[in-house]
Structure 1
Amino acid sequence: MPTVRLKELDFRYVRIGSGPALLFLNGSGVTLDDARPLIERLVEDFEVAAFDQRGIGLTSMPREPYAMAELASDALAVTDHLGWQRFRLLGVSFGGMVAQELAVTAPRRVERLALLCTSSGGAGGSSFPLHASADPGEGQRHGSPTPLDELPVPRAQAANRTKPGPGEVPPQLMPFRRPEQTTGAAWQLRARAGHDVFDRLPRVTCPTLVASGAQDVIAPAARGAAIAEQIPDTVFRVFEGGHLFFLQDPTALPAVTRFLADR
């Protein structure tokens, strides 16, 4: 995968497929390698661009912690490099937070927007406080990766997750943090803790799909509903499954891609 020097950092990115331009923003600690199976599904309908966020994967570490606005600026810098003046935007979990920041900062750049399993912060509520409950190095110290959907949460909440079955998440699609990503993951969680775009969401001007998992305990469906109420042209959907409902409910990802492909 190529790299490009932007904003004094080297970003690893991928540009693949044909069709409408789609920028894909993934979740906390998730690299291009982790997301490859999902990206391969998206390229069936789009020209997809995605990248390792600062301090994650093979993108270089910044010198200091950052806020969500800086991540949105990174995403815009990547699209500028690609020559994309307008594009569709898909944000998942933490990537959905970045996508919201991008969409309110540069609304004319985004043609269609899909926000999955995410939250707005502020009055719209926040996702589960992983920054307060999860040690980014835990798992690495024990020699095993830590899937984001399995980070420590109260046992009672964890019991509400959809039980494994025919729609369970394939193991190769479960995101995790590698040892060398510990600091980068910690700084992502710090930016996540300060995420608050709720009052600015009415600035989003494009058609938007907000989708949540009925059993999601990290970004409950109520968080998605709050986002949908703030954006003028929005469809809100709830699918079966937990935080990774789009890989658990077989109807979810096709619904998302149909929405994004619509003209």
Structure 2
Amino acid sequence: MKPALYLLSGLLCDQTVWQAQIDALKGIRDIYALDFQGFDNLSAMAEHVLSQTPEVFALAGHSMGARVALEIVRLAPHRVERLALFDTGSHPVKAGEKEARQKLLDLAREHGMEALASQWLPPMMSPENVSNASLLDPLKTMVCSMSLETFEGQIRALLNRPDASLGLASIQCPTLIGVGREDTWSNIAQHELMALAIERSRLVIFERSGHMAPYEAPIAVSTAMREWLLHTN
């Protein structure tokens, strides 16, 4: 039995985003990819993860999933042996964010999840990846598989999130922080701030990638994660 690695998915995301890392790292870890359908609170998401993990485990989160990971570290720091945060932030709700998310909710309510996927996903990805149907189409299928109720709940969770930046300095485990070079939703600067606050952290920027770095830059992300899992920084 290998040590455990838990992969936490982001808003309207599932194992699709992590599949390359599951395939690349299954030889060194027992891997579990979790998503958060049916939840509307980050703390409840974190408690759900903790209820099924072993006493000590490695933890990686993408986007909203990384915010859940930070909540897990706050609740049970002794159980997380190493942490990876991708395309995310630790700040509370920003000015204008509630309105932007409400527009997406209105779109989904009025026109359905397919319309949401077509409008929401392209700006999240790097321009060259948006033009690649073999990359974009599986993400559209993923989003369309989610219910409106799941979207509404996850948006509530994000809009009621705590300011996780206050706890960054207390994180003691080896931490990988990664972001796509062309991530316009969660920019490089906020990842640099997190890296400065977490003492044992390493920041990696993934080229030709937007907000979906584990999916858009699968080899680079898997390589960074392998190093993070095998070496202590």
Taking structure 2 as the reference length, the TM-score comes to 0.81
Which residue does the alignment assign to 2:11? 28
Which residue does the alignment assign to 2:213? 245
Question: Residue 91 of structure 1 aligns to a residue in which SS?
Answer: strand
Counterpart contact for 2:9–2:61, Cα < 8 Å: yes
Question: Residue 143 of structure 2 aligns to a residue in which SS?
Answer: coil
Which residue does the alignment assign to 1:96? 66
Call closer, same or farther: CA 1:118–1:175 in 2, change over 3 Å.
farther
Which residue does the alignment assign to 2:76? 106
Alignment partner of 1:37 out of 5, 16, 19? 19
Shift of 1:113: 0.7
CA distance, structure 2, for counterparts of residue 73 and residue 107 of structure 1: 13
Which residue does the alignment assign to 2:47? 73
Counterpart contact for 1:127–1:219, Cα < 8 Å: no
Question: Residue 115 of structure 1 aligns to a residue in which SS?
Answer: strand
1:132 aligns with 2:106: no
Which residue does the alignment assign to 2:171? 204
* Larger helix share, 1 or 2: 2
Alignment partner of 2:192 out of 220, 225, 228? 225
1:260 aligns with 2:229: yes
Which residue does the alignment assign to 1:3? none
Sequence identity (%): 23
Which structure carries more relative contact order (alpha carbon 8 Å, separation 6+)?
A: 2
Call closer, same or farther: CA 1:25–1:78 in 2, change over 3 Å.
same
Shift of 1:118: 0.6
Call closer, same or farther: CA 1:135–1:21 in 2, change over 3 Å.
same
Call closer, same or farther: CA 1:127–1:101 in 2, change over 3 Å.
farther
Counterpart contact for 2:108–2:148, Cα < 8 Å: no
Structure 2 unaligned blocks of 5 or more: none
Which residue does the alignment assign to 1:48? 31
Counterpart contact for 1:245–1:252, Cα < 8 Å: yes
1:183 aligns with 2:149: yes
CA distance, structure 2, for counterparts of residue 122 and residue 162 of structure 1: 28
Counterpart contact for 1:119–1:127, Cα < 8 Å: no
CA distance, structure 2, for counterparts of residue 127 and residue 212 of structure 1: 22
Call closer, same or farther: CA 1:231–1:175 in 2, change over 3 Å.
farther
